[in-house]
Amino acid sequence: MLSQNYLTKLTLTIMAFFMLACSFNSHVSPPVAKIIPQTDTLFNDIRVDNYFWMREKSNPEVIDYLKAENNYTKAMMKHTEDFQEKLYKEIVGRIKETDLSAPVKKGDYYYYKRTEEGKQYSIYCRKKGSLGADEEILLDQNLLAQGHSYFSMGVFKISPDHQLLAYSTDTTGAETYTVYIKDLKTGKLFDDEIKNTYYSVEWANDNKTLFYNTLDEAKRPYKLYRHILGFNAGDDKLIYHEKDEKYFLDISRTKSGGYLLMNLKSQISSEVHFLNANKPNDKFQIIQPRRSGIEYYADHHGKYFYIYTNDNAVNFKLVKAPTNTPAKKYWREVIPYRKNVKIDNIDLFKNHLVVYERENGLEQIRVENLKTNAVHYINFPEPVYTVYGEDNPEFNTRALRFTYMSLVTPKSIFDYNMESKERELKKQEEVLGGYDPHKYTSERIYAKADDGAMVPISLVFKKDMVKDGGNPLLLRGYGSYGMSMDPYFSSIRFSLIDRGFIYAIAHIRGGGEMGREWYEQGKLLNKMNTFTDFITCAEYSINEKYTSSDRLVISGGSAGGLLMGAALNMRPDLFKAAVAQVPFVDVVNTMLDASIPLTVIEYDEWGNPNEEEFYKYIKSYSPYDNVEAKAYPDILITAGLNDPRVQYWEPAKWTAKLRALKTDDNLLLLKTNMGAGHGGASGRYDMYKEIAFEYAFMLDRLGIHR
């Protein structure tokens, strides 16, 4: 309940005035958030949160404030509208609007997606027997999205006999999905409709039994249900209830088709249960009970489960165990632990084992013939690149499909013959508008942190770039959850590079680029390394004259937005401008509130602030708690009203506090998508417009207007 006792001089009338004025005058003052102090004390530390009231989503004043900020942002960026449109047309002009994906063979069918010019979403299709057969449209997302400002597909699962389709949709951005089942013979939907699901649905081999997960009030997937086609979802049988709030539950299906796997995972531990896919009414059995700090992941081949685990192996090792006795005491080593090589994933085929590894910051693919035990690695032509396995649904095949790209080489899909070692390019992303990769170059450099760690930076720029300190440079970063920000290709970013930008990715600790220890050195009580690594990368880029502080722009989203906030508090003098997308910045308050989605499961990432040591450490870097009365660079902050991962109020509160305390006249903008969630706009054209807006902000702040 809002208390009038603490209202500032800003009344609702003044707020309304700002909203109206913004639509007429681009030189208005920004909205000023009213102050309603909320005081909390923990470990004898008093925290005053003046903007706690912004959490009240149902309060019209909150919505009015967000709209006022949006109107102010629109007014302040009005002079760039023509430039935004130019950037948008450039971005769209590089893509092949009417296109199709490389078809994937599964059984007698070839499955693919295609896009049509002017349409926001993909169309799912297939052909039977050969690529010359007639096309069958399975699902047109453009039709499903009609009448919705937001639309997202969750799962798309074809039944083993290829006659049924289970798919799910979300029309708010809140990542809560409804499952529908379609008869692909008749094109009609069954009456079965399953609400409140997440990203996990799998068919049993009888083609009538579905398993799916549902969400609790904190948006945690925690229950597994079994559904029989034709029956009411309300009668579905509860198979498993994960009561530990640190664990997420999902269901997957082995490529062999032999088993369904129920995966239970926290940030640091996991547990797998298995079920014969031919016997959906049986009970799931456990492979190995969970143990804190131990992760393991399983797949199936013949009489064995293949399991990769970090048990006494920080970077993971590979073992196997009989399907009838899969417990740890029966595990037998397949690939031993290697200190400098991390196992990211495995892919099992009838005669081959594929292991996706990472060494010295680069991904590699290891192929083993299971009959001869001969091992080889697939070679790649560039020193800095990204490679990953594509959808490989066929078990009995010699062909491995993978995607290769670099900062200059467009996304390329290959079929690789694991016997002959020959590769066939099936599709390369077509970049329109005269893109010539020979005009650009990429490299990897290393910045030395204060503790001696060598932090990689991947760069791409025009070949005629001169290191004189005058180049604009966009430095991107993430550095959390062990996720790797690999050097992938995007035609979009050439709207910056062709205007003289250097595009750089800082592979900082907290990410997984350099192995599991790299991640461990940037989490919990080591989290500060993430931020100081990023600052080190910025300083190195300046010292080596790639750029200068008045030409350096930084950008990051979600946990990367936390990175932006921390870096801006610690070294605002280093940067000309920053873009923080859906930033996780209110770390203390969020991690103290177990009702917020993801909070409890992330204690193992950030620490539990109900413990004094973690409370003090988290507070020492939490961006919202460390805003000070000093000068900050130009900042654009984005949010999604329906975001379940980073609640909209985090960026809103951060913006309000920055406005109240910062001592400069630099631009501070908050742009909230009032009909979307964590990922922003769902349609591809709407997404391109959002990117064009962000690029226009960066370029405008650097004085580049054409």
Helix H or strand E encompassing 105:
strand 104-106
Catalytic entry in 269, 558, 622, 682: 558
**Cβ count near 650 (within 10 Å):** 28
Rounded to whole angstroms, the Cα distance separating 159 from 59 reads 45
What is the number of residues in the chain?
A: 706
Q: Which residue in the block uniquely carries the two structure tokens 């062990």?
A: 482
Q: Cβ distance 295 to 269 under 8 Å?
A: yes
Question: Among all chains, which residue has been given the structure tokens 């005629």?
Answer: 464
Considering the candidates 415, 643, 682, 700, report the single residue annotated as catalytic.
643
Contact call for residues 650 and 581 (beta carbons, < 8 A):
no
Q: Which two tokens stand for residue 122?
A: 């993909």
- Concerning whether 595 is annotated as a catalytic residue, the answer is no
Which residues touch 495 (CB under 8 Å, ≥6 apart)? 87, 90, 91, 692, 695
- Give the chain's radius of gyration (CA, Å): 26
Residue 678 a catalytic site member: yes
How far is residue 660's CA from residue 654's CA, in Å, rounded to a whole number?
10
Q: Is 299 a catalytic residue?
A: no
- Tokens standing for residue 54: 């912004």
The three-class DSSP label of residue 660 is helix
Q: What is the DSSP letter of 535?
A: H
Of 70, 173, 247, nearest in space to 669 by CA:
70
Q: Is 410 strand, coil or helix?
A: coil
At position 58, the amino acid (one-letter code) is S
Structure tokens at 65: 């404030």
Residue at 431: amino acid letter: V
Question: Is 379 within 8 Å of 362 (Cβ atoms)?
Answer: no
Residues with catalytic roles: 558, 643, 678
